[in-house]
Structure 1
Amino acid sequence: MGFGDKTNWIWSPSWGKEDEEIPGLLYFRKEIELGDLPVEGTLNISADTRYKLYVNGTLVAVGPCKGDRQVWYFDTVDIAPYLKKGKNIIAVSVLRYPVNPAMGNHSLFRTFTPGLYVQGWVSGQNISKAETAGTGTEQAITADETWKCRKNYNVQFCHEEEGFSPLMFHEKAAGDSAFAGWKTTEYDDSDWENARFYVIFEMPPAVSPNNLFERPIPDLYRKKRTFKGVMDIKKSVFTADQWTAFLHGKQTLTIPANTEEMVEIDAGEEMTGYIYSAFEGGTDSKIQFLYAEAYQQDGFAGPAHVPEKRDREDKVNGHLDGYKDVYQVAGYGTEKQSECFETYWFRTFRFVQIKIQTGVEPLILKRFDYEETGYPLEVKTQVEVSDDSMKDIWEISERTLRRCMQETYTDCPYYEQLQYIMDSRTQILYTYAVSADDRLARQCMDDMRHSQRADGLLNCCYPNCNPNVIPGFSIYYILMVYDHMMYFGDKKLVKSHIPYIENVLNYFRENLTDQGYVGQVGTVIGNRFWSFIDWAEEWNPTSGMPPAGLKGPITMESLLYIYGLQHAAKLLDFIGRKEDAAAYIQQAEAVQNSIRKYCTGANGMIQDGPGIEEYSQHCQVFAVLTDTVEPEIGRRNLQKTVEENGFTQCTVAMRFYLFRALEKTGLYQYSERYWDTWKNMLKLHCTTSIESDSYARSECHAWGALALYELPIIILGVRPAEPGYKSILISPKPGYMTYAKGSVVTPVGKVEVSWKKEEDKLQINYKIPEGVTVKIEDMM
């Protein structure tokens, strides 16, 4: 291979320096002619930064999935179902973000070489590639100068907020008749330029984007959906019934010239989808789409000064606010060929406010709907418990998890769409519990190790073009690998992650104080490292960090270090490195002794910082989970934080770990009072789990999908007894429940369990997959 050899990457020959300063859209077209034979066709495709592939006007694929500077993905797409005899058009829209991280989506890496990668073939159906090679019945589809390309200068991708703006995919767009029908066979592209191909010297295969890997996860699904109906009409010449009929595709709406419309519509639930609208006429009409998760109040809450929310459906006392798209209608739409606005990236919404100002001619609204999208999660676990309210809590939990599963796990679909380690650890466990699907989890763990810094810590969220470190979050990565070991028992996977786990733990060991606990490795947000623990209300002024961190180290980071050592020891033992496992246990015990000596108050409770008389539920929880305190002391301390005031409480983010400590200390009956958080969400008409008890910036945070784990794994009691589910443990924790029944999907098959509380015993019935051993524990 020589430096001058062609690659399968192309781009615009007229792309200049000014084009690299702002996000831009570049369109590509390729014409292929097919004979009488039935056809089959495969296309490998990628782009820097994103692509949307159309065949004969139909959207076929969106990608590639998120990579980084070392790993770039391509998709293999079956295009045969979209091809036809005669002329065919393959059209690709490429969104190119500048290299400057501030000028694009933070979770999408880009390189210094923008490009579209295409490599594929089309041939007769039932005829092998070997037989048809060179016979004229097979056509190669490659990235070369026969592709036509043209930039669309009429679409601007905008910062969604003045400050922290990690998405940058909302659009200010204007219609242009020059692009009408550009994805179809009838379009004339004679005035488009021919693409230029890259040679190996320009596109080296050792680094991104030409360092290509097959897509590791399934394609995201796309499902056509319509809006439920009208929520409120602010100003309109039409009735609510007319708007609803339009939204359901039963009629068009003709808005007179020089008329303003404002209507608020309801999707019925928190949703992620590509917005699609179509028009006829209406030259110079301006349409604004505002996407909101809830109706909000005039007041503000929390350190980020986020809007106050009460009843999410209260249109009388509340109002909608949110991120916007704006479209300027060109007016070229006709009865046969509409003018269309289609969002390039999916939007997150429950309510959409449509504001229209027509110009000198009427505007005919022909369509407004969307394509729902997300990871193809298949929920197979079903559980019924005595608390009937858990049905609705399960429903919003499942929806929350779905909305936070896209090409990666995400913290929230509306504000950031970043894959945070702490969030993802519990999301992965919830995914295992309801589907036994580990594909997105495997990618998540790979993403995290790819983010490792020279000091051993991981970026707290990744893929991310920007550095962002929360030291304690690196420990949750270790827990991810441990969880996968218990569910799937994959030694090869564990071995691949062990070097990265060792680097994480080395960082904490190197930052131990002379007293033996972890020193001050972070502080409030905005500094080098952020020592976030939880969004507890008392910690809002210190951005989720215990205030003890303003004076020195926080105990939680030492407890997390201990927790990481203990789980890493189990991983090392699993792969046969028993001496190294024992060394980690010894290290953990040394830090435990330091915590007992320097971080225990006169009341016997674990302090938030060494010698600081501040106490939280969090430290008592992790002291229990790490066995840093004696069982009876841990039980007493934890119970005190539940029954008495004055202790910072675990919020939605940390409720999973609180429940683990309640379970371990025999206090699981107290879980009943903590489900009130979710019951209150239902009262306020939330359709997904909120981010925080103290203020709900995000309406959809999947660390709150806790019911998906508690019901099948804890209350029904189905879990792995040893790595890889080689045996099953059935160990129900009834808590306040009186009965439970259901079926739980596991990597070794479906497990059916039912139990009923009778006086001081549980009557348990179960059915397990053939050939699997089981261990039963009656936890009454």
Structure 2
Amino acid sequence: MNSPSLQWTGSWIWTAENVSSRNSFVRFRREFNYESGQAQLHLTADARYVVWVNGHYLGQGPVRAWPAHWHFDTYDIAPYLKPGKNVVCVLVNHWGEGTFQYLVGPPGLLAQIELEGQSIPTDASWQASPSLAFATVAPRTSVQLSFEEQFDARLEDTWKAVDYSAENWPEATELRPAEDGFHRDLKPRDIPFLTLEPVLPKRLVSTEVVQSLPYSFTLYLKSAILPEDLASNHMVASAYLATQIWLQEEIEVKFVYSHKSPNQIKVNGELLEKGESYLDESHTIRVFPAKLRAGWNDVLISLYNRHLREFAISLDGPLGLRFSASGHGEDQAPWAVVGPFDLPAETWESIHNSTGHGSHALVPEATVQKAIEVWENGVVVPLVEEPFFQIVAPDCVSYTDVYAQFYTDKPQASEVVVEKAESLLSGADWTTVQPSENGDIRLLLDFGKEIIGYHQFEVVAAAGTILDWHGFEFIQPDGRLNFTEELNNSFRYVCREGNQTYQSYHRRGFQYCHLTIRNQTGPVQLRGVQVLFNTYPQAKRGSFACSDPNLDRIWEVGAHTLRLCAEDTYTDCPTYEQTHWVGDMRNEALIDWAINGDPRLWFHCLEQAGQSLERSPLVESQVPSSWEIILPAWSFLWMRSCREYLFYSGDQEGAARLLPWVERNVEGIRSYLNEQNLFEIKAWNLFDWAAMDTPAVGVVTHNNFFVVLALREVAQLAQWLDRDDLATSWRALADEVSLAINANLWSEEKQAFTDCARAGVHSPVFSQQTHTVAVMSGVAA
């Protein structure tokens, strides 16, 4: 049913043209006449949108959400309208596969322009056209996030302008009704829009000339190994990556793994040994020298287990090498997946005792023994006609990987000429970077402290000049740079001719940012290089000051860190994951209350976490996510946070909305009590990254302590909400589990609680962390 806050009269729309199922970008336009009065725009999209009115940037959205509890945004557009013709323009990016903040859904835009006396919904009167400027074949940023941003301004026109002629754009296609059965319970955004605060660089740290390796491939292999799986679950698979390389004469090359790396590599049947890196200790790069013979050479690479089956491989060698999976020439696909094969029995047993999943053999011929034979032989030619030899599709091969190219670049001893470098720090004047005959120019900018947001810049350059950006968080005291391995915290902008400005589509967290200027044929002028700091607005109702400057500094650092981790949810970090981890959220919410006293984001996160109970028996560990995983301690911290929310905010109405989710979570706890009344679940039973014994299968002691603590605290919550029946029941359940802990998990010999019990047998580990929760819960006598 439609949300009572808005009567949707239109449909979800999309382009009628063929677009990629992964990382597609579609542009939408709707022209309309306006006289005067109020004007609003309501919109949402799957997965994300950017919206402009008459060329004026409005914002981006929607907030991350479960599909069954989707959100829309509302903008007051009257200040940007003029009498006569106006236009709303929307760019929608459909990811097509899951992340740690998105579950895959059907693509589309849903919008409604509300004028006085007129409603303009999304329907066939809108126009839609694929965007050619954004690369759809691009590496994933990470398993947690979507795709690396790659934008070619030469392929962009003035489609956002009022006077743009869209006569060649086709009508949009109406896909489905507003409440489409997937995006349900459409509700208005319940938290403020994030800030857009300009931040300039504070210093230019260094300049250098670099040269790139001639060959680079980033391969998305999940479509070959797990073709039906669009989620982000951890999967175990047995498979290999294969190619054949042709060259005219024998020569030594180097295979280079930057990140997202495969495992062992064989060339012509011989296992390669790791060689010396050509880069400094800031890089954990792996280099494997190999001698290639004249003609065709077999390359076979073992693929190991991970969430995201994407691999980056570079090669340092002469120009003119030809890559072909089948060995028929450069017109053929360069890579193939061999497998997947069936997994050994011991691997399946390990999977059963963990929270992972396993892939099955592609065909009956792909047996465990065959997988062993393939690796032992180490050659590709005999495999080409096998039914488990799968060519990697063109749309799964990225030849541009901004991070991998940056990370493997070779510094050159060469002068860099930067005129008016200080203007990079003021943003008011032009900085000119002269080209070098010896390679590409790389600048390192320091923004003074960690930030997160959108890059902005103005540039004058020749068409085809490339600006590659990569951010990272800190530099070690010894000078080592802490790069973002396993994360493409990077983007590419390809210039058109002349003057142009750009605001990045993705937000990124970093303190330091490399800018590499490639394909430079003349001077490049830069101005207004800055970041739009993009976080939850900070009310700053709390304050702290004392005579100890160190304590004052701790408060400042904590407040800034909290801001970095507050966006449309609390997140674990601003750079790597940007994920709503429920346990992290509980702690951040308490800090936020002390600093800002604004409960809206806190409630938003608590409710969103509770909604995961529609998929799982306990509140999930990170939400809304395509990695379906329970971390029980985080579920119990969520229960505690529900009580703390009412205790601090006094929001009885909000707490009453949370209570039914708490009830469901308690029922989930009951369902996992074993015959001894101990909580026992196959899950990610983490508590701390310490030397604890917390297996996925077995009775984990700290979980049981948390059960008691959480039940007693939500019993108090229920009592505050005049639900004495629940309070009594939950306290009784807590007492039962407490008795069971003391009866079954206490060691008289050690006079301590064991970390866990497997089939009733105590673990030899008695950790400090387990006993900390024993005291907190009140179970310890």
Whether TM-score is above 0.5 comes out as: yes
1:14-64 CA distances to partner (integer Å, 9 max, x unpaired)?
233xx25211111122233445x5x53211111122111112222112111
Alignment-derived partner of residue 61 in structure 2? 63
Which of these residues, 761, 771, 775, is aligned with residue 620 of structure 1?
771
CA–CA distance in structure 2, aligned partners of residues 364 and 78 of structure 1: 36
Which of these residues, 193, 208, 220, is aligned with residue 194 of structure 2?
220
CA–CA distance in structure 2, aligned partners of residues 211 and 514 of structure 1: 40
1:638-691 CA distances to partner (integer Å, 9 max, x unpaired)?
xxxxxxxxxxxxxxxxxxxxxxxxxxxxxxxxxxxxxxxxxxxxxxxxxxxxxx
SS of structure 2 residue aligned to 1:495: helix
Alignment-derived partner of residue 452 in structure 2? 272
> Does residue 1:401 correspond to 2:559, yes or no?
no
Q: Residues 258 and 360 of structure 1 are in contact (CA less than 8 Å); yes or no, is this contact kept in structure 2?
A: no
Which of these residues, 489, 495, 514, is aligned with residue 656 of structure 2?
495
CA–CA distance in structure 1, aligned partners of residues 696 and 71 of structure 2: 43
Structure 1 residue 516: Cα displacement:
3.3
Q: Residues 158 and 171 of structure 1 are in contact (CA less than 8 Å); yes or no, is this contact kept in structure 2?
A: no
Q: Residues 158 and 172 of structure 1 are in contact (CA less than 8 Å); yes or no, is this contact kept in structure 2?
A: no
Alignment-derived partner of residue 604 in structure 1? 751
Query: Residue type of the partner of 1:445?
Result: L
CA–CA distance in structure 1, aligned partners of residues 572 and 426 of structure 2: 32
Q: Residues 712 and 731 of structure 2 are in contact (CA less than 8 Å); yes or no, is this contact kept in structure 1?
A: yes
SS of structure 2 residue aligned to 1:451: helix
Against the structure 1 CA distance between its residues 562 and 241, is the aligned structure 2 distance closer, same or farther, given a 3 Å change threshold?
farther
Q: Residues 464 and 496 of structure 2 are in contact (CA less than 8 Å); yes or no, is this contact kept in structure 1?
A: yes
Q: Residues 702 and 755 of structure 2 are in contact (CA less than 8 Å); yes or no, is this contact kept in structure 1?
A: yes
Alignment-derived partner of residue 151 in structure 2? 173
Q: Residues 48 and 92 of structure 2 are in contact (CA less than 8 Å); yes or no, is this contact kept in structure 1?
A: yes
Against the structure 1 CA distance between its residues 481 and 6, is the aligned structure 2 distance closer, same or farther, given a 3 Å change threshold?
closer
1:132-187 CA distances to partner (integer Å, 9 max, x unpaired)?
x4xxxxx543323333322113313677669x62112321222225x233222243
> Does residue 1:11 correspond to 2:189, yes or no?
no
Alignment-derived partner of residue 26 in structure 1? 26
Alignment-derived partner of residue 120 in structure 2? 141
SS of structure 1 residue aligned to 2:90: strand
Query: Residue type of the partner of 2:689?
Result: W
Structure 2 spans left out of the alignment, 5+ residues = 210-413
> Does residue 1:371 correspond to 2:560, yes or no?
no
SS of structure 2 residue aligned to 1:383: coil
Query: Residue type of the partner of 1:88?
Result: N
Against the structure 1 CA distance between its residues 282 and 484, is the aligned structure 2 distance closer, same or farther, given a 3 Å change threshold?
same
Alignment-derived partner of residue 707 in structure 2? 561
Structure 1 spans left out of the alignment, 5+ residues = 123-128, 134-138, 296-309, 523-528, 539-545, 631-780
Structure 1 residue 347: Cα displacement:
1.1
Alignment-derived partner of residue 470 in structure 2? 290
Structure 1 residue 380: Cα displacement:
1.4
Q: For residues 304-703 of structure 1, what are the structure 2 equivalents within 5 Å?
A: 310-311=476-477, 314=478, 316-318=479-481, 320-321=483-484, 323-327=488-492, 329-334=494-499, 338=500, 340-385=501-546, 387-453=548-614, 456-519=617-680, 521-522=681-682, 529-536=683-690, 538=691, 546-547=692-693, 549=695, 552-601=698-747, 602-610=749-757, 611-630=762-781
1:209-254 CA distances to partner (integer Å, 9 max, x unpaired)?
3642111111111112211121222238666782231342233234
Structure 1 residue 6: Cα displacement:
9.5
Against the structure 1 CA distance between its residues 269 and 28, is the aligned structure 2 distance closer, same or farther, given a 3 Å change threshold?
same
CA–CA distance in structure 1, aligned partners of residues 614 and 765 of structure 2: 33
CA–CA distance in structure 2, aligned partners of residues 333 and 186 of structure 1: 21
Against the structure 1 CA distance between its residues 497 and 169, is the aligned structure 2 distance closer, same or farther, given a 3 Å change threshold?
same
Q: Residues 146 and 195 of structure 1 are in contact (CA less than 8 Å); yes or no, is this contact kept in structure 2?
A: yes
SS of structure 2 residue aligned to 1:513: coil
Q: Residues 283 and 363 of structure 1 are in contact (CA less than 8 Å); yes or no, is this contact kept in structure 2?
A: no
Q: Residues 68 and 109 of structure 1 are in contact (CA less than 8 Å); yes or no, is this contact kept in structure 2?
A: yes
Alignment-derived partner of residue 155 in structure 1? 134
CA–CA distance in structure 1, aligned partners of residues 697 and 102 of structure 2: 37
Query: Residue type of the partner of 1:174?
Result: D
CA–CA distance in structure 2, aligned partners of residues 329 and 20 of structure 1: 21
Against the structure 1 CA distance between its residues 579 and 67, is the aligned structure 2 distance closer, same or farther, given a 3 Å change threshold?
closer
Against the structure 1 CA distance between its residues 210 and 500, is the aligned structure 2 distance closer, same or farther, given a 3 Å change threshold?
closer
Identity, % of aligned pairs? Answer: 23
1:681-726 CA distances to partner (integer Å, 9 max, x unpaired)?
xxxxxxxxxxxxxxxxxxxxxxxxxxxxxxxxxxxxxxxxxxxxxx
Number of matched residues?
Answer: 564
CA–CA distance in structure 2, aligned partners of residues 210 and 624 of structure 1: 44
Alignment-derived partner of residue 46 in structure 2? 48
> Does residue 1:121 correspond to 2:114, yes or no?
yes
SS of structure 2 residue aligned to 1:494: helix
Q: Residues 25 and 136 of structure 2 are in contact (CA less than 8 Å); yes or no, is this contact kept in structure 1?
A: no
Taking structure 2 as the reference length, what is the TM-score of the superposition?
0.67
Judging by fraction of residues, say which structure has more helix.
1
Q: For residues 243-254 of structure 1, what are the structure 2 equivalents within 5 Å?
A: 243-254=421-432
SS of structure 1 residue aligned to 2:684: coil
Alignment-derived partner of residue 107 in structure 1? 101
CA–CA distance in structure 2, aligned partners of residues 291 and 157 of structure 1: 22
Structure 1 residue 548: Cα displacement:
5.2
Structure 1 residue 556: Cα displacement:
0.2
Against the structure 1 CA distance between its residues 333 and 434, is the aligned structure 2 distance closer, same or farther, given a 3 Å change threshold?
same
Q: Residues 12 and 194 of structure 1 are in contact (CA less than 8 Å); yes or no, is this contact kept in structure 2?
A: no
SS of structure 1 residue aligned to 2:32: strand
SS of structure 2 residue aligned to 1:352: strand
SS of structure 1 residue aligned to 2:38: strand
Query: Residue type of the partner of 2:145?
Result: L
Alignment-derived partner of residue 442 in structure 2? 262
Q: Residues 459 and 467 of structure 1 are in contact (CA less than 8 Å); yes or no, is this contact kept in structure 2?
A: yes
Q: Residues 157 and 168 of structure 1 are in contact (CA less than 8 Å); yes or no, is this contact kept in structure 2?
A: no
CA–CA distance in structure 2, aligned partners of residues 605 and 158 of structure 1: 56
Alignment-derived partner of residue 646 in structure 1? none
CA–CA distance in structure 1, aligned partners of residues 541 and 95 of structure 2: 39
1:395-433 CA distances to partner (integer Å, 9 max, x unpaired)?
111111111111111111211111111111111111222
User: Aligned-residue CA RMSD in angstroms?
Assistant: 2.8
1:538-567 CA distances to partner (integer Å, 9 max, x unpaired)?
3xxxxxxx2253784221011011112111
Structure 1 residue 272: Cα displacement:
0.6
Structure 1 residue 581: Cα displacement:
1.9
Query: Residue type of the partner of 1:14?
Result: A
1:259-299 CA distances to partner (integer Å, 9 max, x unpaired)?
5211100111111110123322322222211111123xxxx
CA–CA distance in structure 2, aligned partners of residues 509 and 430 of structure 1: 31
